[in-house]
Structure 1
Amino acid sequence: MEDTSVVQSHQNKAEDECSNLSLRPLDVSDIDAFMVWATDEKVTRFCTWEPYTNKEDGLNYIKNTILPHPWFRAICVDDRPIGAISVTSNSGNDRCRGELGYVLAWKYWGRGIATRAVGMVGETIFDEWSHLERLEALVDVENLGSQRVLEKAGFQREGVLRKYVVLKGRSRDMVMFSLLSTDHRIPPT
């Protein structure tokens, strides 16, 4: 049985981290923080990309992909990046849809930080991008933690898309989640 003082200490630490949580643009000066989660196989298991193996590749990714991205933010505690979150808008006739993606350093899992960051995006993205009517997220069926994050942040589980993507050499079933501009959104706590 776990000591109640240890549990309370963990809860207080998580609350402190969430109260100091912010989203801001990720910059090349954040490379060391970026490499913490981008090199971790546990973190990248369900990501479309392989773990980075060197700083130069990480810097190139920040310069060539993140900086020109229209909505890519660092998830920060005390202004220190511990993960990232992005919204990618579709183009053409599907411009009303955007796709949410996020990643968080392993040591911050289970503390409500990802849920809060997703909630912060849900609260603001429809105002920032008035053309957006639907924010969707695709999650691997085995990624139960990420599914819980989305559900707690007010996203609706729509169903399983069977053999939807090839991820790291295997076809994968994905769960589709969505948040509509007209949905009652859960404010981040």
Structure 2
Amino acid sequence: MNPEVTLRPFDLADLDDFYAWASDDLVSVWCCFDTYTNKEDLLNFMKRFVLPHPWMRAICYYGRPVGAIVVTPHRGEAQCRGELGYMLATQYWGKGIVTKAVQLVLRTVFEDLKDIERIEALVNLENVRSQRVLEKSGFTKDGVLRKYLIHKGKVKDIVLYSFISTDPLE
């Protein structure tokens, strides 16, 4: 099955849908933020970070926002790189939605963010599902970065994946 997945910018009307996955411990366990417990805090996050972000999109499944995907451009000498991140409501896991969303990103982001030539994804070594998404989407596993960052108070090993703008999409 090929799900109907589209990407679009967020707006404040997406607050309730965003809260559905941002308040889920199973989703936030892999994210840099803690699980949201009230909509006011999430609304402030949307206003401060989501809406002004240069490339953050709602992952829509048959028109409804069910997740988020972001490419954050680096600056200075690293401006040729962007970092990919994504999250999806748990009830939509295992349906190929994020894989399709990542593939949609790769078809447009290099035109949208002209300085970027490489997309990187840093994935917790324990997050095997996310690693599989990237591999199915054409990313190359560059290696494991041992004790690379502190995530929610614990030092973690991270798998580095990359996609170069000249890589063919399969």
- Shorter-chain TM-score category? over 0.9
**Cα drift, residue 140 of structure 1:** 0.2
Paired residue type of 2:117? E
Matched, 1:141 2:125: yes
Deviations 1:106-130 (A, max 9, x none): 0111110000000110111112222
Paired residue type of 2:155? S
- Specify the alignment match of 1:91 in structure 2: 75
Matched, 1:125 2:118: no
Larger radius of gyration: 1
Q: Distance in 1 between matches of 2:162 and 2:129?
A: 16
- Specify the alignment match of 2:159 in structure 1: 175
Q: Distance in 2 between matches of 1:89 and 1:130?
A: 10
Q: Distance in 2 between matches of 1:80 and 1:111?
A: 15
Task: Indicate the percent of aligned positions where both proteins have the same amino acid.
Answer: 52
Quick check: 2:9–2:57 contact (8 Å CA) kept in 1?
Answer: yes
Paired residue type of 2:66? I
**Cα drift, residue 184 of structure 1:** 0.9
Q: Distance in 1 between matches of 2:120 and 2:22?
A: 23
- Specify the alignment match of 2:28 in structure 1: 44
Q: Normalising by the residue count of structure 2, what TM-score does the alignment of the two structures yield?
A: 0.98
Give unmatched runs, 5+ long, in structure 2.
none
How is 1:22-171 mapped onto 2 (pairs within 5 angstroms)? 22-171=6-155
**Cα drift, residue 73 of structure 1:** 0.2
Quick check: 2:61–2:97 contact (8 Å CA) kept in 1?
Answer: no
Give unmatched runs, 5+ long, in structure 1.
1-10
SS for the counterpart of 2:35 is coil
Paired residue type of 2:116? L
Q: Distance in 2 between matches of 1:32 and 1:177?
A: 32
Paired residue type of 1:111? K
**Cα drift, residue 70 of structure 1:** 0.4
SS for the counterpart of 1:142 is coil
Paired residue type of 2:85? G
Q: Distance in 1 between matches of 2:107 and 2:145?
A: 27
Q: Distance in 2 between matches of 1:178 and 1:185?
A: 13
Q: Distance in 2 between matches of 1:144 and 1:76?
A: 23
Q: Distance in 2 between matches of 1:43 and 1:124?
A: 26
